[in-house]
């Protein structure tokens, strides 16, 4: 396992050290099931907002609950390995809950980022970040790509 894939308890300690050294922490989360250009573009833009990018990845059980029983396609170990090796990503952690609310409350990032398909008022953890002087932002997607669209395309290719 990579040294930048960390358990939540360790991440909380790392966050404290980063805060003490004046580093701005950016947090985002997602499933990152089948990685595509939209994911990478999004992570590059998120990282540009601060010094350290932390990515929370939904566990396999969390994904089954929020998506469906056929997901994930790629295991949490593989997804976290792939995302942790992307240039803009500093730390990855896996969370089991449906939302990263508890994780956000544990690390209290300076910036909380989601895609522009989210209304800022509906972003989980916004209350925590803003109450601690942080900012919540959305990032526009540059590609019309999603894991669900990729899966549908594969199914169409192999069933027609």
Domain assignment of residue 1, yes or no: no
Average pLDDT over residues 111-140: 95
Share of the chain above pLDDT 90, in %: 76
How far is 146 from 37, CA to CA, in rounded Å?
9
Q: Would 71 be classed as within a structural domain?
A: yes
Is 138 inside a domain boundary? yes
User: Is residue 54 a part of any domain in this protein?
Assistant: yes
Task: Please give the tally of structural domains in the chain.
Answer: 1
Residue 114 in contact with residue 99, Cβ under 8 Å?
A: no
Report the b/e string of 74-87 with b at 16+ CB within 10 A. Answer: bebeebbebbbebe
Q: Is residue 151, in this structure, part of any structural domain at all?
A: yes
**CATH code, 12:** 3.40.50.620
pLDDT, tens digit (0-9, with 9 covering 90-100), for 27-49: 999 999 989 888 999 999 999 99
pTM confidence score: 0.92
- The strand ranges marked E within 7-152 are 25-30, 52-58, 91-95, 111-115, 135-139
Q: Which domain holds residue 107?
A: 8-159
């Amino acid at each position: 396992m990579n040294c930048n894939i960390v358990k939540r308890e360790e991440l909380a300690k790392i966050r404290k050290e980063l805060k003490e050294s004046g580093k701005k922490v950016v947090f985002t989360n997602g499933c990152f099931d089948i990685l595509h250009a939209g994911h990478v573009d999004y992570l590059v833009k998120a990282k540009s907002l601060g010094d350290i990018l932390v990515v929370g990845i939904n566990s396999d059980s969390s994904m089954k609950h929020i998506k469906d029983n056929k997901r994930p396609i790629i295991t949490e170990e593989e997804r976290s390995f792939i995302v942790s090796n992307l240039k803009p990503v500093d730390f990855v952690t896996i969370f089991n809950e449906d939302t990263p609310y508890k994780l956000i409350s544990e690390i209290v990032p300076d910036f909380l980022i989601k895609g522009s398909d989210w209304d800022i008022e509906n972003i989980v953890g916004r209350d925590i970040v803003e109450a601690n002087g942080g900012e919540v932002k959305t990032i526009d997607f540059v590609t019309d790509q999603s894991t669900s669209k990729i899966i549908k395309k594969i199914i169409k290719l192999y069933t027609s």
